[in-house]
Amino acid sequence: MKKLLLAVFALGAALSVLAQDSTSTEKSDTIRVGGMVIIKKPGEGKHSEVTISNHRHKKPSNISTNWWIVDIGFANVNDKTNYSNAISSGFVAPGIGKDELELKTGKSVNVNLWFFLQRLNVIKHVVNLKYGLGLELNNYHFDNEQVRFNENPTHIFLDPTLVGVKKDKLAADYVTIPFMINFNFTPGRDKGFGLSAGVSAGYLYSARQKIKVESEDDKIMKLHDDFDLQPWKLSYIAELNLGPVKLYGSYAIDNMWEKGLDQRPYNFGIRLSNW
């Protein structure tokens, strides 16, 4: 009890000294005792205001989750097709080559909706594992708006009857799981700096060609089929965090088609995310 009374007396004496010093200088004084912060501010007349608070740095959680992340970017393909073989196999019609299947760069878009991304601490919150689940939506707009698909079997040809086309695209949508190693150079900050790299696995759940012809009622033609696209899509993926700006990119490991064409899709754009 005596020790406690002595401690209280010492603290009162320290505060009294601070009050006298503050009266003469009219400046705020701060004392830190461990995690305790004592702030004395000058008041009106001879009165002073003393604030005691306990500030401790919050330790980052070993597992952090980010919900509902959106990617907005561009989609394109690296075309390595041997069109002589593709024509002889009947997959594409004579007269179709790389130029005829070229994509509109500005209109071919990729939008990803991640249900969640999770970060698991491995080494001092600097090295982490990052994984999640989401939808990868790709819209490939053809520069030649007479490109048309037939199904069963897949056959790609140019349809001269397509006149006044406003939109001619192939859509391929995947349920995707990304898995990356994350390097967070500013742990404890949501909008910090870092990078991630890894792979993703996606399963094709929807594919279709959509053609919109300019007319009084804007005629729309849709054909739903897998068009001999690979059911699985494996990609190299990366992410770059530059404070509030976050960039992403992906490049398919293998051909997106089961036969006929040899094209490797890639995406890049901006990620709208908390971290």
Say which residue, 30 or 239, is predicted with more confidence: 239
| Each residue's pLDDT tens digit, 145-156 | 999 999 999 999
Give domain limits for the chain.
2-54, 63-272
CB-CB contact of 96 with 260 (8 Å): no
CB-CB contact of 204 with 229 (8 Å): yes
Q: How far is 230 from 246, CA to CA, in rounded Å?
A: 30
Question: CATH 3.40.50: does it fit domain 63-272?
Answer: no
Say which residue, 252 or 6, is predicted with more confidence: 252
What is the per-residue pLDDT for 52? 62
Which of 179, 182, 207, 201 has its CA nearest to residue 193?
A: 182
What is the per-residue pLDDT for 170? 98
pLDDT of 182 above 50: yes
pLDDT of 24 above 90: no
What is the per-residue pLDDT for 201? 98
Element holding 9 (H helix, E strand): helix 2-25
Mean pLDDT over 192-220 rounds to 92
Mean pLDDT over 39-43 rounds to 66
Which of 135, 140, 147 has its CA nearest to residue 233?
A: 135
Q: How far is 37 from 18, CA to CA, in rounded Å?
A: 14
In order of 11, 40, 46, 114, the CA distances from 24 in angstroms are: 20, 13, 10, 60
pTM (predicted TM-score): 0.78
Token reading at 177: 């799981």
Can you tell me whether residue 220 is helix, strand or coil? strand
